[in-house]
């Protein structure tokens, strides 16, 4: 009995920590959605692009770890700059769906560019953190929890606290919130819309890079990361599109439910139900609470 309980705890904790990885990707979506009410479908591609660039800098040019990270982050700022200038600004007054489709196109461009520049083969990314159980926890609590999962959890926590402070207490954060509320009104009182957009896209790019590092260390840097990033969508639906805490809670819920279902119900259906379980969970959430746990209620007028 105790063993079963321990096993359940292990599955649950593993799922929760894996969920923070989804949260990291979802965070990038939320940042952009919060500031511009744009759904950035290319976030998954940004994850892939940034981490492939990071690996490329490190492995092809032998640039040291920290410098390569800074370079990749800088590259993401450039991507943000180009996106703002060439995609978002011309589509300023277009409908939501049009911008969404344009970001799907942007995703394709980023995926193609990344593969053209750095090749299509799977790259290994070694962060110096092993994807194996931490001995100390295994000895004392009898739980097998991967060090990488714990790192991802910590990184996610730090980023969320950082972003929270940024949004809440800085002048930039105030500007961000003003733009999110009403872009027209914000620009009329002199908040530079361009700079805010650039900042948000750059921040989303850096978040994508961090998320990519975590995913890449686990599964290898490869094209499948884009599909993995799609799982951030159910996370967002559960947490709400405009809420940073929502992204975290949503990620935790998806991670935990997915793992528990996979371990306890999966074997009856031949496994691999984690491929679709998050989406079906999202559908049920949509039917009862379309705006998500922390989202704002959507009101539409004729």
Give the footprint of another protein on this chain (CB under 8 A): 39, 41, 86-87, 90-91, 94, 96-102, 104-113, 115-116, 119-120, 227, 230, 233-234, 237, 241, 269-273, 275-276, 279-280, 282-283, 286-287, 290, 300-302
* Other CB atoms within 10 Å distance of the CB of residue 203: 24
Closest distance between another protein and the C-beta of residue 261, in Å?
13
Alpha helices (H) along 189-268: 193-219, 224-230, 232-239, 244-264
Using the minimum distance from each CB to another protein, give the nearer residue, 107 or 205. 107
Residue 221, strand partner residues: 123
* Other CB atoms within 10 Å distance of the CB of residue 265: 12
Closest distance between another protein and the C-beta of residue 106, in Å?
6
Closest distance between another protein and the C-beta of residue 107, in Å?
7
CA dihedral 190, 194, 200, 204 (to 10 degrees): 180
Non-local CB neighbours of 249 within 8 Å, separated by 6+ positions:
238, 239, 293, 294
The tokens describing 147, both together, are 């060090």
Using the minimum distance from each CB to another protein, give the nearer residue, 51 or 102. 102
Using the minimum distance from each CB to another protein, give the nearer residue, 110 or 209. 110
Closest distance between another protein and the C-beta of residue 102, in Å?
4
Three-state SS at 123 = strand
Using the minimum distance from each CB to another protein, give the nearer residue, 102 or 196. 102
Rounded to whole angstroms, the Cα distance separating 205 from 262 reads 32
Using the minimum distance from each CB to another protein, give the nearer residue, 146 or 243. 243
Three-state SS at 210 = helix
Non-local CB neighbours of 79 within 8 Å, separated by 6+ positions:
46, 49, 110, 201, 205
Closest distance between another protein and the C-beta of residue 290, in Å?
5
* Sign of the four-CA dihedral 177, 183, 185, 190: positive
Using the minimum distance from each CB to another protein, give the nearer residue, 57 or 241. 241
Closest distance between another protein and the C-beta of residue 206, in Å?
22
Closest distance between another protein and the C-beta of residue 84, in Å?
13
Closest distance between another protein and the C-beta of residue 207, in Å?
19
Using the minimum distance from each CB to another protein, give the nearer residue, 29 or 57. 29
Phi, psi of 211 (to 5 degrees): -60, -40
- Answer for the pair 84, 194: CB distance below 8 angstroms, yes or no: yes
Non-local CB neighbours of 263 within 8 Å, separated by 6+ positions:
11
Rounded to whole angstroms, the Cα distance separating 71 from 90 reads 28
Using the minimum distance from each CB to another protein, give the nearer residue, 186 or 235. 235
């Amino acid at each position: 009995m105790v063993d079963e309980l321990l096993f359940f705890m292990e599955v649950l904790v593993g799922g929760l920590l894996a969920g923070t990885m989804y949260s990291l990707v979802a965070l990038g979506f939320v940042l952009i959605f919060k500031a511009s009410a744009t759904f950035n479908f290319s976030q998954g591609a940004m994850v892939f692009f940034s981490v492939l660039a990071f690996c490329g800098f490190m492995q092809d040019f032998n640039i040291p770890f920290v410098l390569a990270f800074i370079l990749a982050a800088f590259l993401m700022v450039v991507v943000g700059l180009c996106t703002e200038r060439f995609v978002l600004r011309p589509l300023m007054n277009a409908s939501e769906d049009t911008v969404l489709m344009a970001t799907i196109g942007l995703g394709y461009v980023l995926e193609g560019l990344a593969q053209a520049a750095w090749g299509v083969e799977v790259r290994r990314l070694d962060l110096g953190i092993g994807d194996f159980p931490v001995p100390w926890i295994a000895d004392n609590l009898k739980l097998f929890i991967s060090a990488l999962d714990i790192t991802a959890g910590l990184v996610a926590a730090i980023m969320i606290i950082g972003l929270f402070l940024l949004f809440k207490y800085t002048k930039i954060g105030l500007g961000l919130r003003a733009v999110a509320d009403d872009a027209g009104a914000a620009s009329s009182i002199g908040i530079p819309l361009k700079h805010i957009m650039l900042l948000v896209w750059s921040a989303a790019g850096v978040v994508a890079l961090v998320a990519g590092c975590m995913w890449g260390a686990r599964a290898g840097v490869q094209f499948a990361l884009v599909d993995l990033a799609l799982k951030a969508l159910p996370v967002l639906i559960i947490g709400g599109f405009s809420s940073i805490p929502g992204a975290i809670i949503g990620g935790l819920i998806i991670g935990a439910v997915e793992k528990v279902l996979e371990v306890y119900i999966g074997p009856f259906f031949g496994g691999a139900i984690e491929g679709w379980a998050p989406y079906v969970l999202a559908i049920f959430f949509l039917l009862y609470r379309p705006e998500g746990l922390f989202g704002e209620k959507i009101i539409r007028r004729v």
